Each structure stands twice: as C-alpha cells, then as structure tokens.
Amino acid sequence: MFFEHDPQDVTRILFQNFPTWMAVRFYLIGAAACVVFAYGVWTNIRKYRRGVRSGAWSPFWPRVWQMVATVLTHRTIKRRAEAAGRSHSWIFYGFAALFVGTSIITLEHDILEPLTGLTFWYGWFYLAFSAVLDLAGVALIAGLIYMMYRRKLLALPRLDYTRPDRSPGDPDYDRSGYRREDWAFLWTLIAIAFTGFLLEASRLVWLQGDAVVWDYRWFSPVGTTTAYLMKALGLGPDGAAQLRLGLWWFHGMLALLFIALVPYTKVKHIFTAMGSLMARDTEAKRRMPTANVDGERIGYSVLTDFTDKYLLNLDACTKCGRCHEACPANASGYPLSPRDLVLSLRELANDTLSHAAMPKGPITVSGDGVNMIRSETLWSCRTCAACVEICPVGIEHLPMIVQMRRALIEDGDFDPMLQLTLKSLQKSGNALGESKRKRPRWTKNLDFEIKDARTQPVDVLWYVGDYASFDPRSQKVTIAFAKILHAAGIDFGILYEDEQTAGNDVRRVGEEGLFQALAAANIELLNSCEFSSMVTTDPHTYNTIRNEYPEFGGNYLIEHASAMLERLIREGRIPTPVNLNYRVTYHDPCHLGRINDGAEPPRQVLRRLGVDLVELRRIRENSFCCGAGGGRIWLADPPAMKKPAELRAAEAAEIAGLDVLVVNCPKCLNMMEDGVKGSGNEGKFRVMELIELVQEAMGLIGDTTSDDGDNVLREAGAPA
C-alpha cells in the first residue's frame, strides 16, 4: 500500500478549495496577531529595562544550556509534585510538538518554497509528521484535563488565591481574576487541540473518495477515529466540507488570538519562566545581595530599585502555590505568602512600568496602598528559603524580601524590640545583650583548658556563636561538644571574649551596614589567628562564614559540628560504646539541611548511635522551619498566633512511641523546647541536641554544673 501513489501527492494542501481573498484575509489577520504579539513583547522588555541592570544572564551560553536541561527534564516542576510535573510535561511536549509542527509548515509553505522551490512536507516525512502531531495533541489534552481535575475536584489549598495579607474589604483583596485567567488558559488550549482533531476528521470525511488521502488515514489515528464517528452520525462529504471550512476558521482564529495574547496573559510564563531559570542565582538561598552601605540609600524602597532579573521573576510566577504551601509564616497564620508578595509586586509593576510614560514621582513598594507590601508582611518572614528552594521557575523571593527590609530599616519602620537587639549587637557584638566578658564563662565548667586561638596556633578554630555561648540551655550542649573534642584529641581553640556574632540574622533582618561592620571585624580577627579549619555548632554561623564572608575576603574551611562528628566517628577517633535505645526523629535546621545540603551527616551519626530513627513528614530540603530565622527569634509572637515550632512539635507528636526529638542548632533547640510546651506535648517526648546524644553514647556523663547551678550534663535516661 505504501506508496501506491506518487509520494509527493501524499500531503495536505494548505488553503485547499479556498478562494484567494480568503487566504489573503488569513495572512492579514495573522500579520496583525504578530504585530500585537511583538508590541506586547516590547512592553514587557521595556518594563524590565526600567529596573536596575543586573548582568544576571552572564555567562550566557552556560546559563542557556543549564536552563534548557532544566526545562526539558522538568526536574524542578516534578520535585515533590510528581503527578503535576508529569501532566505539565505532557502539556509542554504536546504544545511544543504542535508549535514546531505548525512552524515547519510555515517554513516550507511561506519561506522555502516561494524563495528556493524546496519542499519536504510530503511522503514519509508528512505521514510521520501527522502521526507525531496526533500523539502530541492527545498528550496536550490529557495533561490539560488532569490540571482541570486538580483545580476543580482536588481543590488543592495551594491553588486557592485567598490572600493572608489583606482583608475582604481591601481594594486589592480579590484575586478571582487570576482564577478566571487560569480557566481561560486551560479551556483555550483544550479548544485549540480539540478543534484541531475535528478539523482533521472533517477533512478525512470530506476527501474520503480521494485515495491519496483515505489510503493513508491511519497515520492520523485520532483524526481517523473521529472521522469514523462523524460518518456513523450521518455526516457526508458535502456536510464535512462545510464543517471543515467553519472549523478551519474557528481553529485558526483561536490559535492566532492565543499567539497575540501571549505577552499579556499567563501564557507568557512559557518565556519568562525560561528567562528566570536562566538568570537564577544558585546561591540565592545562601548568600544575600551585597549593598553599598555608603550609598544614598540601601535596599528597595521604590519599584525601580528592583533589578531587571527580579522584575522578570515577577512575571515568571505561575501561581502554582508551592512557596505558599512551604512558607512557615503562612502556615502559622502570619500575613505572608511568598506567592502573594510576588503577585502584588507584579501587579504594581504592570500598573506603573508597562505604559509608555512613567508615573511622576517614586513608585513606593512598601506601605498600605494598593499592591504595596505591608511592613508586617516583610517582618513575618523567617528567611528559611523554603520558597526559593521549591520554586520551579527560579524566583528568588528571599533576596527581594531582604532588600525591602533594608529599606524599612533605613526608614525606621521596625519593631522596637528589634531596635534594642540591633543596639545590643552594635555595642556588645551579641544579640542577647550580654557583656563580652561573659562569652567564655561556660569554659570554667570544664576540667581542662581550651586554647586561646587569638594567641596560640590551633588545628581547629571553634566559632561558638551567641546562643551557644550565653543561653543556659545551649551552654550544656556547648560544654558537651567541648568534652567530645577533647576526648577525640582535637587540637582546638576559641576566640574567647573577642568573638562576635557572625551576622547571619543581622543581614537577613536588613541591617546591612551592621552586618558588614561585623564581618569586617570578624575577618580581621580570624586572619590574625593561626588555624587550619573552623567548626561551629550553629548552622546560621556556618552559613555566613562559609557563603558570605568570602565576598569580603574571609575564605575559610569550615565544618558544621554534625559533619565533624560523623567524620570522627567514622574514623574511629571517638568511640560510641553505648547503643542508645531510643526512638527518635530528627528536625533538619533550615540553614544546614535545606540551605547548605547538610542533611545526611546528622543521620549518619544517629545510625551509628543505634537509635530507631523515624523520619518526620517534612525532611531534608523540605524541612519545616522552627521559626527562629531572619531575626524572628528576637521578636515576640502575638499570643493568639500559632508558632511554627508548635506546628513542628505537633508533627513530631504524630510518631508513635517517640522518645526524643533531635535538633542540631542552638536556635532550633530554644524554639523547639518552647514548641513542645506550646503544643501540649510536654512530657510526651524530649528535645535533645545531636551532640548530647553523642556525648551519652560516649559515656561522657558527668556532674559539671553551669554558673546558675543547673545540671549541665544530664544523667543517662533522665529528662532533659
């Protein structure tokens, strides 16, 4: 049967039986659609260019290849949403194949054939082309139907656009327009795909008497099946010819309308998402942007302070709600949703930067006005980077929030308690308002002396941190870690009263000037010391020294305590003769597990201790923040508000027979002990630091007491 006819006759004739005027009209409408599309593209580019140039797309080609790999594999879309990612890939590849198919036809019919006489859309190429596009259409429709099912029947909370940062009476509260746009997008694509099949089927019925068409019909399996259904319903060639003509125009006009509206609607995420992924900073969750503290102003107070990349980020948002769902502030009832923050800024940009003429005066981004970001929204953020980590299109919410916080700090728009903390940090170098002389006081509870790294060379310099130095509960962990290092024969020292906070949370509350002053002083001190590497028990300190100090000339090899413990146990330098008969679960600190990929060493340590480790529902990079980050540990929570630590403790309480909730950060220890009490789980299980479990397994239980008389090293098996 294959090719009983001339292969060049096995094709589809464009504009078959169309009068010339009809084809001309189609091209005129198509040209108008392209003009509308091009103008929309220009208005968006103009909008982005009104921001500060970022240079985020350099080096260009490596970023292009990385973006292409991400888009083609759908790896960011499939993460923690396999079904949605799979359906999106059907839509993406189905749409891409149909778009490429249409482009190939245009290439041959409108460019190559008129200019060179070259044709290729016939014979085996045409038949394979037809079969592939049929399958692409099926994939597109299947993916769209699943997305409709998710929105309507599953009714996922993250797809509910109810705003947590506005009240029903506010003029910018209603986001039902987004809901209508979503459904219009889905239905338009469905209509284009379905009418394409109906058009194909009506052509087959119309030309069923033409062997060169009918003999090769099964290379369009969906169209052929539909054609048989049409024939069964009594449709003949004449009726099919009329139906085909009507469908041709409806399908064509719908497709051209879709193209024309791409830059003005949700559809533009096809391009803006690719641009956002290409410009993505892989360090955005670890390192905040550096500001010129000697400049006229710091941070983002007006919309034109935003970089072109961030303005593009706003348009890249697909409203998928993954950041909304992951945000601990949002889950606790605070007026923050990373998605809604992005959408508000997008709407503000569309209202002010998209027009030919810019508004007079500055476009303020923070305040109580329409589409402005309220200060309570910005101060709700825990800077845990859950939003940045899960965003499938590379939006960098956290740096934008920190930049806007910097402007609030400049304007004095922040909590008086935070003001007191910042003054304390400026005066004494710590957030607890303690005298510098008290910082090393915990060392007096040891029966050995810790080296002074300021005057003596050491192999390991231990950067202790504020809470680990001053907080009575955390001091117990600090003393335990000192005993472990001593028992392992580690040559280590500390900076005694000259140590200051590393500045992680100072930077994230927006006090960039103070952060840079602290960083400069700390780097000067560290550079005056002689050591091979550093260690810290505080993930916040670890993150800043590892990822932010290099920008200021501080390049050091630093480990978190959990990684050092895992290595020392593996190397046999610290024996753990006691197997701990506990059922435990482990809470990943944000700055260790999610932000610095340090989720595995603590688990390796727990496995070596012989405990029964049962994982929480949200672990590793998906861990749920304790609520301490971004300076929130320094601020009081409203009494009626549910704290993130209470939600996390309630999650731990779901584990039957749980003995210990293990933490690995001084701030997590502080917050989670309060969270256990606040959630009504006090006495049901204990909160212990990983270091305390290692100490117990090593048999280093003692009766050393802290200055306030508290037992520093608990008796084995006794409640913490």
Q: Residue 392 and residue 273: Cα distance in Å, rounded?
A: 9
* Cis geometry, peptide bond prior to residue 362 (ω within 30 degrees of 0): no
Domain boundaries, the chain: 19-161+186-276, 283-414, 419-698
Q: Residue 331 and residue 341: Cα distance in Å, rounded?
A: 15
533 burial type by CB count under 10 A (0-12 exposed, 13-18 middle, 19+ buried): middle
Q: What percent of the chain has pLDDT over 70?
A: 97
Tens of pLDDT, residues 651-671: 999 999 999 999 999 999 999
Nearest residue to 189 (alpha-carbon basis) of 101, 122, 262, 83: 262
400's tokens: 């934008």
| pLDDT over threshold 70, residue 471 | yes
Residues in Cβ contact with 677 at an 8 Å cutoff, skipping those fewer than 6 apart: none
| pLDDT over threshold 80, residue 22 | yes
pLDDT of residue 241: 95
Rg of the chain on CA atoms, in Å: 31
| pLDDT over threshold 50, residue 703 | no
Tens of pLDDT, residues 112-140: 888 898 888 888 999 999 999 999 999 99
**How much is the mean pLDDT over the chain?**
93
Q: Are 668 and 626 in contact (CB under 8 A)?
A: yes
Tens of pLDDT, residues 28-39: 999 999 999 999
Cα angle vertex 357, ends 356, 361, to 5°?
Answer: 150
Q: How confident is the model at residue 1 (pLDDT cuts 50, 70, 90)?
A: low
Tens of pLDDT, residues 270-328: 999 999 999 999 999 999 999 999 888 899 999 999 999 999 999 999 999 999 999 99
Q: Residue 178 and residue 547: Cα distance in Å, rounded?
A: 38
Topology classification of domain 283-414: Fumarate Reductase Iron-sulfur Protein; Chain B, domain 2 (1.10.1060)
Tens of pLDDT, residues 174-225: 999 999 999 999 999 999 999 999 999 999 999 999 988 999 999 999 999 9
Q: How confident is the model at residue 373 (pLDDT cuts 50, 70, 90)?
A: very high
Element (DSSP H or E) covering residue 166: none
Q: Are 458 and 494 in contact (CB under 8 A)?
A: no
| pLDDT over threshold 90, residue 711 | no
Phi and psi torsions of 160, nearest 5°: -90, 125
Q: Are 404 and 300 in contact (CB under 8 A)?
A: yes
27 alpha carbon, distance to own chain's centre: 43
Tens of pLDDT, residues 588-646: 999 999 999 999 999 999 999 999 999 999 999 999 999 999 999 999 888 878 899 99
Strand order in the sheet with 492-494: 451-452, 492-494, 460-462, 533-536, 558-560
Phi and psi torsions of 190, nearest 5°: -60, -45
Q: How confident is the model at residue 709 (pLDDT cuts 50, 70, 90)?
A: very low
Q: Residue 426 and residue 419: Cα distance in Å, rounded?
A: 11
pLDDT of residue 720: 31
445's tokens: 């509870």
Strand 583-586 vs strand 660-663: parallel, antiparallel, or unpaired?
parallel
DSSP code at position 543? H
Q: How confident is the model at residue 2 (pLDDT cuts 50, 70, 90)?
A: low
Tens of pLDDT, residues 376-421: 999 999 999 999 999 999 999 999 999 999 999 999 999 999 999 9
pLDDT of residue 682: 93
Q: Are 131 and 36 in contact (CB under 8 A)?
A: no
CATH class of the 19-161+186-276 domain in this structure: mainly alpha
Q: Indicate the pTM of the whole model.
A: 0.93
pLDDT of residue 249: 96
Q: What percent of the chain has pLDDT over 90?
A: 86
Sign of CA dihedral 588, 589, 590, 593: negative
How many alpha carbons fall within 13 Å on the CB side of residue 637?
A: 25
Q: Residue 462 and residue 493: Cα distance in Å, rounded?
A: 6
Sign of CA dihedral 651, 657, 663, 666: positive
| pLDDT over threshold 50, residue 718 | no
Phi and psi torsions of 238, nearest 5°: -65, -45
Q: Residue 602 and residue 615: Cα distance in Å, rounded?
A: 13
pLDDT of residue 704: 41
Q: Residue 591 and residue 502: Cα distance in Å, rounded?
A: 14
Residues in Cβ contact with 683 at an 8 Å cutoff, skipping those fewer than 6 apart: none
CB-based contacts of 167-175 (< 8 A; 24+ apart in sequence) = 171/370, 172/344, 172/347, 172/370, 172/371, 175/343
Helices (H), 434-560: 466-470, 472-487, 504-509, 512-527, 539-547
pLDDT of residue 19: 92
Averaged pLDDT for residues 233-255: 95
